[in-house]
Structure 1
């Protein structure tokens, strides 16, 4: 309870006085918007379920959308990455491949009751459903991560929209976990034989960690032990953040998104330049697919410049 209170105190996600004044909509709509796309979104995703307690800990939110663990292991003997290995696999962790020593309590029923929304980018249920309590959990480890470590299941790296679904949810997870250090590790949970190629937006990881991200395939066939690990909110949750977001009409100016923007710019040392009011630069990203193209692009007043015949 003290941890939840600390989150609410430092990040007042139910600050009614700000609802309807900062947002560009009515107070009633603003309250909904706060829960959908601002810090109010975090409250239902706080880790309240103590699945494992004792020498090890596993604490998760509803439906395992966010979890933290201490002194737990993952055995990647079933990973077996080859040229035929597919991306977005849900069979990496099998029976006996994940666990800890829950010598105080292990609530298997609580774990089983939060496995309703499986999916690679929806929850961590596929990776945690086989969690067990074993006395020798932290023995015979091939790799031990002493520093806090973030496990990241990832959306497409070649699309800015999809990839920033990863980053905004990771940023939100830092607030939930109350941890903003850049001294931890990041593991890319990707099962493709070529690994996770992040050539266009890879620099963004420096906002979250000073250490080079670690490829999951480098841990193939190894038992990996974590002293402190976070399994963050994922890119495509049900009623998720940024992707699948059911936003109330007419509302804008989310402080969560504004703070995320400032966070990235600050961590990457990108200066903010004041706009020149006399000059306006407009960039149109034109897509050709039927679902993504701008239907009236040729009607835009300046489109004749773009579509000269």
Structure 2
């Protein structure tokens, strides 16, 4: 056993050291608040910065900060400080157990667990060999010098989307010693969006080392690569679950000090062209064009370094299937994801802008169902108050994502009907309130997402003061359903709830700090 442990350590060193070229800090592009965490997780890069007089990040060195998944991270220095003010409703008996459960379910404790599960599935025997490490059930994998044979895809008549039969035996592998027993044990979740089992079950040893000069490779991918299986790309809730799990995977992979770099190659596991209004979100992870399977069909593709990230519909995964304990809120992992995305997409907050008014955004639906029938009346009533700025946002598939996110940053109260557009709550300021004006019989979805992000959630409180257009009709279930109709809301009750939200916003430390900071002449007041 001791020999195996030593071999694992050597393999990890090979994966990292072989890829470090030049000064690592030159290629960093992190949110300013994240630099101390990065440098403390990567002491080698911190030393490099210390010694180089040109390193611009010295202000971030030697500060007490850690993400929370490191081997020695004092709670007071961790990024996450989740709060559990509510009742756990029988989940656990103590507040300590409640916080620990939340942290492991939905915070950097989840990352720590996945990192602790990593085992070597294909052991390199010499420096030029391949390697493969995966977490339990093959939910996350990373490898070096791996080989994919995709020549057969040219003969496939059906387009690949949510398929589990893309690869057959021997069409994925590397020149290393495969642990067949470990691999078989963990191929127990054969579902497209739950694990990499459908692909990794076919992993085999190949005869010759995989290298740039190898005749086995039609395409050699030098850049670090991410192979991704995507959920519904036209739905913000589901597609941003892809991006969130990719971000969490960067932390699982953070033993590679270049894990957060942008010069990467993304390969999406489908033959359809990747086309969606949310595509700019990928620029938070790569500066290069996105490939799909059609781009590499008929080729043998070799990866110098490749990651198979966490997936959006894993059992007990993040955030679609998270079994979230009651009473807790404020995942640092979700907070860091929000900051990372906004920074990489060049979307900035309101610091330095003179404006003490409360900005209220109506998410206006253009769909057949779940419209607020008296939306104009509700908005006009609010506009009578000069301390409010009321926006009507139509986040259509034609609107640039950057513009949508800028509007999010200029929103203090976000009002909308139940629907995937409420996923914008991930990118609201910390002091904001998301007001799901009506949850349409699905009370936990966006309430839980708001708890994960750590912002205030509200919904309609008096059912006697909301009027459905009709009982609604579900096209598949063939019966009455709250999601398939439209609603009218009592104006006075809506006003009362908005005033309740305004009180929360103005009482939040983040809002108060924003107002207290020195202000300059604004370039704009609002969008």
CA displacement, residues 114-139 of structure 1 (integer Å, 9 cap, x when unaligned): 10111111110111111111222523
SS at match of 1:183: coil
Structure 1 pair 249–300 and aligned structure 2 pair: CA distance change class (3 A)? farther
Residue from 176, 194, 214 that aligns with 1:122: 194
Correspondence 1:202 to 2:276: no
TM-score (norm 2): 0.52
SS at match of 1:266: helix
CA displacement, residues 58-83 of structure 1 (integer Å, 9 cap, x when unaligned): 01000110011101101012324766
- Residue 77 of structure 1 corresponds to 151
- Residue 218 of structure 1 corresponds to 295
**Cα distance in 1 between the residues matched to 2:96 and 2:490:** 34
Quick check: 1:20–1:28 contact (8 Å CA) kept in 2? no
**Cα distance in 2 between the residues matched to 1:204 and 1:158:** 13
CA displacement, residues 176-230 of structure 1 (integer Å, 9 cap, x when unaligned): 1111000111111113xx32222x1000000001111112111111110111000
Give 1:34-45 correspondences, 5 Å limit.
34-45=103-114
Q: CA RMSD in A?
A: 3.0
Q: How many residues align?
A: 298
- Residue 58 of structure 1 corresponds to 132
- Residue 12 of structure 1 corresponds to 68
**Cα distance in 2 between the residues matched to 1:107 and 1:286:** 47
Q: Which moved more, 1:146-155 or 1:40-49?
A: 40-49
**Cα distance in 2 between the residues matched to 1:29 and 1:268:** 35
**Cα distance in 2 between the residues matched to 1:19 and 1:137:** 41
Quick check: 1:20–1:27 contact (8 Å CA) kept in 2? no
TM-score (norm 1): 0.86
Structure 1: gaps of 5 or more residues: none
SS at match of 1:221: coil
Structure 2: gaps of 5 or more residues: 13-39, 43-64, 86-94, 364-415, 420-471, 475-479, 496-527
Quick check: 1:72–1:137 contact (8 Å CA) kept in 2? no
User: Which has the larger helix fraction?
Assistant: 2
State the structure with bigger RCO (CA 8 A, min sep 6), 1 or 2: 1
Give 1:1-309 correspondences, 5 Å limit.
10-13=66-69, 16-17=75-76, 22-25=82-85, 26-46=95-115, 48-54=118-124, 55-80=129-154, 84-102=158-176, 105-136=177-208, 138=210, 139=214, 140-178=216-254, 179-191=259-271, 194-198=272-276, 200-273=277-350, 276-283=356-363, 284-285=416-417, 293=483, 298-299=488-489, 301=491
CA displacement, residues 131-168 of structure 1 (integer Å, 9 cap, x when unaligned): 11122252321111011101011011110000001000
- Residue 423 of structure 2 corresponds to none
**1:300: Cα distance to partner?**
5.5
Structure 1 pair 121–21 and aligned structure 2 pair: CA distance change class (3 A)? closer
Structure 1 pair 291–113 and aligned structure 2 pair: CA distance change class (3 A)? farther
CA radius of gyration, larger in = 2
SS at match of 1:244: coil
SS at match of 1:71: strand
Structure 1 pair 81–238 and aligned structure 2 pair: CA distance change class (3 A)? farther
